[in-house]
Copies of this chain bind each other. A is one copy, B any other.
């Protein structure tokens, strides 16, 4: 059920995305000029510009803008776009540090920031250190983008409350992700908790809340948005886990062996381990997390994931959560263009191949 709306023009997501990208470019261009004028290291803004230009789904900033529309936001949306850009800059911080922690060589089909700088300066440790600082700067600049967006002090205060919660959640989520491999491989509840903190809240719920807050949404609206957001966020991450094992590197931009070599205890792996017979379990224990894993070994892991039905169960979990998200969306009379765009985003997040 959706209510009639006076402002029924569809939301052009591609146009919103290009405005978000433009806001990021404008900000980093200004930072590059300022660095040049003050003889500060151009590495910092340049690395961030290259990182953001390499791609990315812009899911979080788009959801921020859609949260604003869902809460009835209309008229001048410049401050919303800039806040959305700030969320993407924050995400750059997360990914740059994540790549150092995972020791990943590529991201979005290009060398990671720490690898790029290690090669430029001929020194691995220097590359990692520089990337830690460039990540830190992305976080600082995310704040500056948000604070210079022109929000009223009252709205900014409400926004900051959500941002502060979101940051704590995602950092705890990353920490859980880091230590989960120390626990039993069969613990799919632990894997679901990582998803809750690291993805469902961070990637979907909080961006929607940020946008809605900028349209002065009340707490009830934030609660109903969560009913769409949390199952969708879980479905998004479950798809990500499947793509990490079954995706084509040309689509995902990262080597298909990375996730398996890292030994992440995903729901997929946990379910397979629960159901594995002794031979299958030995194979999982030996190969998942092995730094020497090769393509043949990955194929053998996939055989176990298929044979135990773990892959099919995860596909079922995705479908269930997607349906929950869409049901929650239908239950609330959001303005029609916002509802349509949120439905589109749900499909895109769950059906993707990259």
Contact = CB atoms under 8 A, between A and B. Distances in A.
Interface in A155-176: 156-157, 160-161, 163-164, 167-168, 171-172, 174-176
A126 to B, nearest CB: 7
Given A97-B132, A126-B178, A153-B156, A168 B41 contact: no
Interface residues on A, range: 35 or more
A143 interface: yes
A72 to B, nearest CB: 23
A139 interface: yes
Contacts of A25: none
A121 interface: yes
Nearest to A97: B132
A66 to B, nearest CB: 25
A134 B160 CA distance: 21
A347 interface: no
A43 interface: yes
A143 B167 contact: yes
Interface string A166-209: 01100110111011001000000000010000000000000000
A230 to B, nearest CB: 16
- Find the residue from A35, A132, A164 having the highest chain B CB count within 10 A: A132
A307 interface: no
- Find the residue from A43, A97, A121 having the highest chain B CB count within 10 A: A97
A15 interface: no
Contact of A147 (B121, B125, B164): B164
A154 interface: yes
Given A43-B175, A130-B178, A157 B168 contact: no
A315 to B, nearest CB: 29
Given A153-B157, A160-B147, A167-B143, A44 B133 contact: no
A143 to B, nearest CB: 6
Contacts of A39: 193
B103 A44 contact: no
Given A161-B147, A174-B133, A182-B121, A141 B156 contact: no
A140 interface: yes
A140 B157 contact: no
Contacts of A164: 140, 143-144, 147
Given A35-B172, A129-B178, A141-B168, 6 more contacts: A40-B176, A44-B172, A97-B132, A101-B128, A132-B132, A143-B160
Interface of A: 35, 39-41, 43-44, 97, 100-101, 103, 121, 125-126, 128-130, 132-134, 136-137, 139-141, 143-144, 147, 153-154, 156-157, 160-161, 163-164, 167-168, 171-172, 174-176, 178-179, 182, 193
30 contacts: A41-B172, A41-B176, A41-B179, A43-B179, A44-B175, A97-B136, A101-B128, A101-B129, A101-B132, A101-B133, A103-B125, A121-B182, A126-B178, A126-B179, A129-B178, A132-B132, A133-B174, A133-B175, A136-B171, A137-B168, A137-B172, A137-B175, A139-B139, A141-B168, A143-B160, A144-B168, A147-B161, A153-B153, A153-B154, A153-B157
Which 6 A-B residue pairings sit nearest by Cβ, starting from the closest? Answer: A153-B153, A101-B129, A140-B167, A144-B164, A137-B171, A133-B175
